[in-house]
Copies of this chain bind each other. A is one copy, B any other.
Amino acid sequence: MATIHEIAKKVGVSSALVSRVLNDKPGVSPENRRKIREAIREARYVPNALARSLVRQSTQIIGVVMDDLCEKYFFELIRGLQDMGEEMGYNVVFCSGRSRPDIKYRYVDYFMEGRADGIVAFGSRLEDAPLVRHLVKRAPHCVLIEGDVPGESFNRVRVNNTGGAYRATRHLIARGYKRICHFTGDMNYNVAHERLEGFLAAMRDAGVPVEDGTVIQSDFEEALACERMTKLIGQGRVPDACFAGADKTAYGVMRALIASGLRVPDDVAVIGFDDEAPDSRDMLFPGLTTMRQPLYEMGQMGIKLLVRSLTTPDAAPQSVVFEPDFVMRESCI
């Protein structure tokens, strides 16, 4: 690989001149500019970004550490990060921790070693807590999407899970449903706790007693929710309505209901959470009423907060909370 000095020598000028041409700066005669361009082309010279970033003290890179890249749920978030990042003039690169804290740790450090100007991390797993603390305490510029570190102040964007769950539950109560149950998401995640909390608060505020078996632990996959709902049906304890901690969970519930010959929403109403883009073949199910998370906008906002921190380093950290939208479809009207 050629260097700037070799180009300079070949043309017979100093390397400073070549640098000026490279960066489209003034102070080079048209004649020399032409000759230097020519030499660059023919030597297939590519400037070394490491050396450049080292002296410029800036990489124009935003590093994103995802919980898992292979998860449809994150698509809109990724898009939001990309679009806004590029709009702001940054390169956005992604790493995946594959839901393993140790790997996420590695990649957070990886970016902190000067390879990125700032970091966006996703951390909703409870076991991520030490990592997230590490991140917000040591990384000069970072934004956390979902997740929390009690006692620390930092840039974060999240969704009002508790409020969303509260509203969804209140909707069910207002529609006159009596036997309402909640299928939780994976309790290893923050959001599952927050949504459960919202559910319980709504029930309490409405004076509806929460009996045993009202809250059914499940996770973010369909299988477990389906199994648990099937069991419930077998025991003859079919509820009126069901608020699920995630869309996938809701699909599991619906699958169990439909398989047992029950109708949604006529026999049992179902509300989900997330508004994860359904495959087109989900049209075989009734459309899912759900609380939409504005993940695209959250990604955009994450970048905005990060860039603000980058450009005005003394700005106070900010916490942005998005309200989920109630999206009414067929599964609960």
**Residues of A participating in the B interface, judged by any CB pair closer than 8 Å:** 1, 44, 46-51, 53-54, 59, 63, 69-70, 72, 75, 78-79, 82, 86, 91-96, 98, 103, 106-107, 109-110, 112-115, 138, 140, 221-223, 226, 251-252, 255, 279-282, 284-285
Contact B70 A79 (CB under 8 A): yes
A137 → B minimal CB distance (Å): 9
Number of copies: 2
Max chain B C-beta neighbours (<10 A), residue from A46, A226, A281: A281
Q: Which residues of B contact A70 (CB under 8 A)?
A: 75, 78-79
Given contacts A93-B95, A94-B69, A222-B280, contact A114 B75 (CB under 8 A): no
Contact A115 B281 (CB under 8 A): no
Top 8 A-B residue pairs of the complex, sorted by shortest distance between their CB atoms: A49-B113, A70-B75, A48-B114, A94-B94, A222-B280, A50-B54, A50-B50, A93-B93
Chain A interface mostly helix, strand, loop or mixed?
helix
The contact of A51 among B54, B75, B281, B282, by CB within 8 Å, is B54
Given contacts A49-B110, A223-B280, 4 further A-B contacts (CB under 8 A): A46-B113, A50-B59, A93-B95, A279-B281
Contact A285 B281 (CB under 8 A): yes
The contact of A107 among B69, B91, B279, B281, by CB within 8 Å, is B91
Report the separation of the CA atoms of residues A148 and B119 in the bound assembly, to the nearest whole angstrom. 35
